[in-house]
Amino acid sequence: MRFGFIDIHPIVKMIYFLLLLTFIMLTPHPLILLLYLIALSLYLIRLKGFLEFRKGLRFYLLLSLVLTLINPIFNQRGQTILFTLLNRYFTLEAVIYGLVMAMTFITIIILFQIFNETIDSHSFIYAIGRFGPKSAFLINMALRYIPLIQKRLKELFEIRSLTKSTKKLKQRIKLWGEIIGVIFTWSFEEAIITADSMESRGYGLKKRTSYLYFKWRAKDYLFLVLMFVLSFIISFYLIRGLISFEIYPKMTPLVVDRQNFLAYLAIALISSLPFFIDEKERLKWRNL
């Protein structure tokens, strides 16, 4: 059963994800990124469960460690020198910049995971298919083929493991070549069948209707209004430079005061909107 944020109109959800992605990329600020990271992680845990989320936690920690350590090696900018190794300066600012990059990447990855869980292929095509049907189709097919190819690779390896032993490196390389050839042939054949089927159904014509119809309801308009109000507040503070964070040449202090508290509150709220909507719907159904 669909309820909560998943049940919001596809166009509204697309606008929400685009706005959130824009704000995440425009605010390389540790505290703000931490707010986004916590709120989106909580909602992803709600969607997939903690056990599924924990599977990706190792990757997130490894990515954070790699980016945090690699940046100081290649970047010597900054005034706060931590130590010197092999005539290279390792600065606090370079470490913080690597950490901010890692937080940004992880937050965007989690955002796209939520996108994948809450917007299916039908909703995606409905949302942007009218403006660019060919682009929507290409993006949707690309996103579809990634898990499909992974599934087929697993099937082919299972079949090959029953028929052939691959102990030698030459045999393994040959096996990979055969499997990749089969995968490409299989995918191209299915793509041709899909294209012929879509052409026969009139996909891409100017006067085209969708077999799915999503009604605009009061909660869609309410979500849209809340989203735009919070976005306006965040944009105002961004333009005024009240929530800016400078790392080079010297890191500016992280301050939360009366002047920027409203911006932090708006960021926390806009990133938590899906979680709050789901909680509201859950309590509503529990009290019935």
Cα 110 to Cα 234: distance, rounded to the nearest angstrom: 21
CA angle 55, 59, 62 (to 5 degrees): 140
What is the rounded average pLDDT for all residues in the chain? 80
142-156, 169-183, 202-216, 271-285: range with lowest mean pLDDT: 202-216
Per-residue pLDDT of 54-86, as tens digits, reads: 888 888 888 888 888 887 777 777 677 777 777
- pLDDT score at 191: 73
CB 140 within 8 Å of CB 124: yes
32-41, 44-53, 137-146: range with lowest mean pLDDT: 137-146
Distance of CA 103 to the CA centre of its chain: 13
279 or 15, higher pLDDT? 15
88 or 238, higher pLDDT? 238
Per-residue pLDDT of 242-285, as tens digits, reads: 888 887 777 777 778 888 899 999 999 999 999 998 888 777 77
pTM of the model: 0.76
Q: Got the DSSP string for 204-261?
A: T-SS---S------HHHHHHHHHHHHHHHHHHHHHHHTTT----SSSPPP----TTTH
Residue 37: name the closest of 15, 14, 12, 63 by CA. Answer: 63
- pLDDT score at 288: 64
Q: How many residues does the chain have?
A: 288
22, two tokens: 């824009």
Q: Is the pLDDT of residue 166 over 90?
A: no
- pLDDT score at 222: 92
Per-residue pLDDT of 76-133, as tens digits, reads: 776 777 777 777 777 878 888 888 888 999 999 899 889 888 887 777 777 776 666 6
Average pLDDT (191-202) is: 73
253 or 233, higher pLDDT? 233
Cα 54 to Cα 225: distance, rounded to the nearest angstrom: 34
- pLDDT score at 205: 64
CB 35 within 8 Å of CB 268: yes
Q: Is the pLDDT of residue 1 over 50?
A: no
